[in-house]
Amino acid sequence: MPSINSRSETLETRFKARPLPARAIVPASYWREMQKPSKRWVHLALPGEELIGMAAVLQRGRAEDGTEYTCYSLVMQEAAAHIADVHDRMPVLVPQDFAGEWLTSEAPAVELIDAARAAAFPLAERVIARPQGSASTSAPSLFQTAPPGGRETGSQDEPGGSGPGSQPRV
């Protein structure tokens, strides 16, 4: 896949009456978007940074050395009205009671994506946007040193989200 994001509308057009290919749910506690024109990172999460699932489609690939891998692309939709000033798109959030359907349904792509957006609506309405720091004039640090006995993790300033070059925080 050429992108980490796939517009839900594009998937509907591409697959129409056929089922979507392999799907996944990407767990995250939040994602980030860069608000324009201020170039300020905005942290988007459910209250209490409750674990969320983001709808994704999968595709197999092969590296130049022949190693096979699986990559994913988050399924994106129009942003909920209360956060549309941050970014015009957001991931399709998958509530627990819709996870099985998202992962296994053989319904036509149009029907499944419509059902996913409808199931996501209550979660999307609960998303809270919190601006992070001042306007970005330099690249934020991507890693911090792990505590003794711990593992390296992304920093709190890590750019993540659904825009180009961004990733959800897992």
pLDDT of residue 74: 95
pLDDT of residue 160: 39
pLDDT of residue 90: 96
Q: φ, ψ for residue 48 (rounded to 5)?
A: 70, 15
The chain-wide mean pLDDT, for the chain, equals 81
* Domain residue extents for the chain: 5-132
Residues in the chain: 170
Secondary structure element (H or E) that encloses residue 72, with its range: strand 68-78
Residue 40, both tokens: 């300020």
Give the domain 5-132 fold.
hypothetical protein yedk fold (3.90.1680)
Q: What is the pLDDT of residues 41-86, one digit of tens each?
A: 999 999 998 999 999 999 888 889 999 988 899 999 999 999 999 9
pLDDT of residue 114: 96
Long-range pairs for 165-169 at CB < 8 Å and ≥24 separation?
A: 166/4, 166/31, 166/32, 166/33, 166/34, 167/4, 168/26, 168/28, 168/30, 168/31, 168/54, 168/74, 168/91, 169/28, 169/29, 169/30, 169/31, 169/32
CA torsion 133-163-30-82 (nearest 10°) is 80
pLDDT of residue 61: 83
- 100, exposed or middle or buried, with CB in 10 Å at 0-12, 13-18, 19+? exposed
Q: How would residue 155 be classed by pLDDT, with cut points 50, 70 and 90?
A: very low
Q: How would residue 152 be classed by pLDDT, with cut points 50, 70 and 90?
A: very low
CA pair distance 163, 152, nearest whole angstrom = 24
